A and B are shown apart, each in its own frame.
Chain A
Amino acid sequence: MNVRRRMITVVSAYAVFAAAVMVWAPTVGSTDISLSKAFDRSIPWDQNVDAQIFFVARLPRVLSGAIVGASLASAGVVLQAMLRNPLATPFTLGVSAGAALGAMIAIAIGLDLGAMGVSSVPIASFAGSLVAIAIVYFLASSQKRGLSTNVLLLAGVTLNSFFSALILFVQYMADFTQSFRAVRWLMGDLDVGSYSPILAAIPFIVAAFAVFAILPRTLNLLTMGENVAAARGVEVIRAQRWAFLSASLATGAAVSLGGPIGFIGIVVPHLVRLMVGSDHRIVLPAATLFGAAFTVLCDLTARTIMAPMELPVGIITALIGGPFFLWLLVKKS
């Protein structure tokens, strides 16, 4: 039972898979392109159509898919462990609803405060997610004893429905074009158009992953219950606080980038657990990598299955995720 060797083997295998998917995905699409031509430096850029399609049209979409998938999957793993609830998702605690409300408002009032190549919708949705995180966090920590996971769950679920009501209100007030844009945003769209939104999201996601890196063994113990974890030397409240904040930050950044793409945060963690067990030192990195690959593959399906029409990726993840979630519910009970 050598944990280190298992970590290295399993995580490398997932890394190879994710890398292969990410290199292959941009070559697939309405126009066939050749990978060797795309990377051929001897052809001038403005004559190399393959390179332009690869790097300008398709790679940003693949990268945003990978980042969104990695963030949602790992945030799902962290929240499920922290809440001791295998059915929790990154959207359970209201972060995505906050992000969606922010995006809806930006669309409805035609907000225009784009900065550094990032348009106003992702900025507003990220702000919305931060508001939701702050509300849930302060509600849950108003308890005398640190963070209450029960309050966290209840506050998150309530906030989700409250924000959904506000979203409906904003949509009702919006005109037809705005409503259409809003609905499209809610379906999830990884076609970010350029590298700027990706670069803007990266610092937040890197910060979240830096916290994820120190969490895994603590997460193992948190799944055994707060009292057991405390008796084994875990500073429970501090660990829960960091887990909640980092997972929420990753979720907020991911949703601002690609919209609230459902089911990644629950399907991927569970598939990975089925393959590698429950040790979070392996589950967390594996789910991160598998989440990236899974989302890129779903998006690839979305943009090719009914070509030339491109479906929103959220439809594909929901078609796979919905039945999977139900199967999981039945299996657990």
Chain B
Amino acid sequence: MPALLWADNVSFRYAAGGPLVVDGVTVRLADGALAGILGPNGSGKTTLLRLLSGTRRPTSGRVLLGNRPMDRLSRREVARQIAVVPQETELAFEYSVIEIVLMGRHPHLGVFTVEGPEDIRIAQEALAATGTAHLERRPFHELSGGEKQRVVIAAALAQSADLLLLDEPTASLDLGYQLDISSLLQRLNRDHEVTMAISTHDLNLAAAICRELILMRDGRVLAAGPTEEVLTSDNVRRLYDVEADVHVNDDTGHMTVVPVRRIAR
């Protein structure tokens, strides 16, 4: 299957002379993929997502969207195809939920165009899809962490993009919200055919919903492929320096990872 988004041997450093944060990484996201990006803190997950979304340009290598080099596309063109859910959203000013979600329509609107009924319909659908329709008129800053995260996902959905890149979408959420978000993402991928890449620290979330995994350490890809092949106790040890048991439930095929202890590198 042709890659929808393809990072071809990309490297990136934030400052000239600084260390390579992403070092010769190749990632192919096929249409309809649900991929997880795993790795310890500072392994380059967030930076890789920024390269994939085109908000940063690789120092070397290239990113192709469809078959077109990302750096030939305007930000608007890219934003119509790729939406991003950041790890945290800090607002400098107070907006209502519907205002936040309508901002997702930005790449589809002209400079002086105001959101029309169609845009409002799309925004309300996005709210409904994330179970936040009842929050439409609420001020964003008054919501709980889980509600905020779902609204931010709704804003990304309102972008009507085929691709959704999520940076640790469940990082600051309690168990209930983590489950909400993961089933939401699964549903969006299955029913709305949204292609996704999710960076996460939650191995069990990744095991539960991702069909393929990319393991990153020190800016490099340690292993990549179908979840059941990549998520082994051996790989977890190489990734985190942590001894872990990986169980496969014979009936359901569900995989669970139980960390046991930290080992010296």
Contacts and interface: CB of A to CB of B under 8 A. Distances in A.
Nearest to A283: B93
Contacts of A223: 91-93
Contacts of B76: 233
Given A227-B84, A227-B86, A231-B55, A217 B106 contact: yes
Given A3-B115, A281-B114, A232 B91 contact: no
B93 A81 contact: yes
Contact of B107 (A7, A232, A279): A232
Contacts of A3: 102, 114-115
Chain A: interface size category: 20 to 34
Interface string A25-50: 00000000000000000000000000
Interface in B72-103: 74-76, 78-80, 82-84, 86, 89-96, 98-100, 102-103
Contact of B114 (A7, A86, A220, A225): A7
Interface of A: 1, 3-4, 7, 80-81, 84-86, 144, 214, 217, 220-221, 223-225, 227-228, 230-235, 273, 277-279, 281
Contact of B159 (A1, A144, A232): A232
Given A3-B114, A144-B16, A278-B94, A230 B75 contact: yes
7 contacts: A1-B102, A144-B15, A217-B109, A223-B93, A233-B74, A233-B76, A277-B96
A18 B159 CA distance: 38
Contacts, number: 87
A279 B92 contact: no
A292 to B, nearest CB: 22
Most-contacted residue by chain A among B91, B94, B106 (CB, 10 A)? B106
A277 B92 contact: no
Question: Top 4 nearest A-B pairs by Cβ distance?
Answer: A233-B79, A233-B107, A231-B84, A84-B92
A221 B103 contact: yes
Contacts of B264: none
A1 to B, nearest CB: 6
Contacts of B104: 232
A281 B91 CA distance: 17
B101 to A, nearest CB: 10
B120 interface: yes
Nearest to B99: A279
B83 A1 contact: no
B88 to A, nearest CB: 9
Contacts of A227: 50, 55, 84, 86
Interface residues of B, number: 38
Contacts of B92: 80-81, 84-86, 223-224
Interface of B: 15-16, 50, 53, 55, 74-76, 78-80, 82-84, 86, 89-96, 98-100, 102-104, 106-107, 109, 111-112, 114-115, 120, 159
A74 to B, nearest CB: 16
B55 A230 contact: yes
Contacts of A84: 92
A308 B15 CA distance: 62
Contacts of A85: 92
B95 A279 contact: yes
B75 A225 contact: no
B82 to A, nearest CB: 7
Contacts of A281: 114
A233 B75 contact: yes
B94 A234 contact: no
Contact of A234 (B16, B83, B106, B120): B106
Given A231-B84, A233-B76, A234-B75, A225 B89 contact: yes
B251 to A, nearest CB: 40
Contacts of A277: 94-96, 99
A1 B95 contact: no
A242 to B, nearest CB: 12
Contacts of A231: 53, 55, 79, 82-84, 86
A231 B86 CA distance: 9
